Structures are given as C-alpha cells and as structure tokens.
Chain A
Amino acid sequence: DTGVSQDPRHKITKRGQNVTFRCDPISEHNRLYWYRQTLGQGPEFLTYFQNEAQLEKSRLLSDRFSAERPKGSFSTLEIQRTEQGDSAMYLCASSFDSPPQPQHFGDGTRLSIL
C-alpha cells in the first residue's frame, strides 16, 4: 500500500491561468474523490469516480472545473481561467466502498492564485 499520491504539492499561478493536478490512488481502490479544503473548513466534495465513470459532481464544481479518470486509474483535475477564490487545498481520496470503507487521502495540492 503506497498510499494516495498527489502532484504537485504546491502550485502558484496568476489569475486567469489554467492549472492541472494529478492524483494517483491506491491501485486496488475503485472509487476516487476530489475535495476542496479552505482554512477553517472541512473538505468540501467536488466530484467522484467509480472506476472511469464520473458519477457525481457537486454544485460547487463550476464549468471552469473538469475532472477525468481515464482507464480508471489516475485522475486529473483541471481548473481553467483561475480566480482568486480558487485558492485552496485540493485533496484527492480513494476507497473501496463495498462494504463501506474509510477514504484514504493524499497530502493535497495547495493552490495559490496571485
């Protein structure tokens, strides 16, 4: 079990630029989740995949956000035309879900918008 890996750990970019984050889940997990966390808050759900299918998206996920999980392995989260309000920690988690299992989180990508 090598754990959930996220890359990069930190990203600093100018407002209006596009950014892409990568998540490598625990290999045998079929579910993959993306969350956003801001200071003083718990993780807020963005989207999740079961294998390669994106099954649910939060209303928080505007049209500028897109996520993919080709072949049901790693996942990418892209933010287009970044805004100041996008500054946050983006967390990825993976799990089995049958029977209900806890999520395993990566250490996140911290995004700072200048």
Chain B
Amino acid sequence: AQSVAQPEDQVNVAEGNPLTVKCTYSVSGNPYLFWYVQYPNRGLQFLLKYITGDNLVKGSYGFEAEFNKSQTSFHLKKPSALVSDSALYFCAVRDIGGSYIPTFGRGTSLIVHP
C-alpha cells in the first residue's frame, strides 16, 4: 500500500522569506514522488518530480524539493516566496513496483503575505 501525508493544512509566510511545505510518504518499495500546485477553480499543475538520481530536485517557478529516504520525506521549498505562490500544494507518491495510480495528499494551503 502507498500513502502520503501533508501534516500542515496551511502554511503562512511573508513575501521574500523562504518557504517549506512538508510531505512524508509510505510505500512498500521505492517511490516516485511528485508535487503539484492548484489555483482556485483550476486543475493541478505539475511542479517537479523525483524518480531517481540526485536527492535535490529543481522544478518550475523556482521551487525545489529534497528527497530524504531515511525520513521518507519529500519537502517542497523555495528560497524567496512570492504573493503569487499562494495556492494549494499537493504531494503525490507512486510505488515503483506497484500500481500506476499515484496517491495524493490532502493538500497544504500556502498563503504568502505581502
């Protein structure tokens, strides 16, 4: 079985400050990991993925994420937040040896204050 947890319903950060949105996962084997962003009344947009290789993954709009196998985490980070980053963020996991269907977290609402 595969699962993902986003422990924070909401993250508040001031514009220009670094941001972190947390994600932990559970899989039987090795994971494929993804981050998506969702703006109001829109579908999910892909930000970045970890398949294999470097633990630090860089994605769209200046976001990056660090894969930590020992802590089973894949936290999303950005060095300097923008007001326009305010949105819902979803982490997703897929077990490499399992189903083709990813499991999504409940989402974290990021609010960047001017």
Contact = CB atoms under 8 A, between A and B. Distances in A.
Given A41-B107, A99-B51, A105 B44 contact: yes
B106 A42 contact: yes
Interface stretch (B13-21, B69-77, B95-103): B95-103
Contacts of B102: 103
A: interface residue count bin: 20 to 34
Contact of A105 (B32, B41, B43): B43
Interface in A91-113: 91, 93, 97, 99-100, 102-108, 110
A91 to B, nearest CB: 6
27 contacts: A4-B43, A6-B43, A33-B101, A40-B107, A41-B106, A41-B107, A42-B90, A42-B104, A42-B105, A44-B104, A56-B99, A91-B43, A93-B43, A99-B51, A100-B32, A100-B49, A102-B36, A102-B49, A103-B46, A105-B36, A105-B43, A105-B45, A107-B42, A107-B43, A108-B41, A108-B42, A110-B41
Given A40-B9, A102-B36, A108-B42, 17 more contacts: A4-B43, A6-B43, A31-B100, A42-B92, A43-B44, A43-B104, A56-B99, A56-B100, A56-B101, A93-B43, A97-B100, A102-B46, A104-B46, A105-B44, A105-B45, A107-B41, A108-B41
Interface of B: 9, 32, 34, 36, 41-46, 49, 51, 90, 92, 94, 99-107
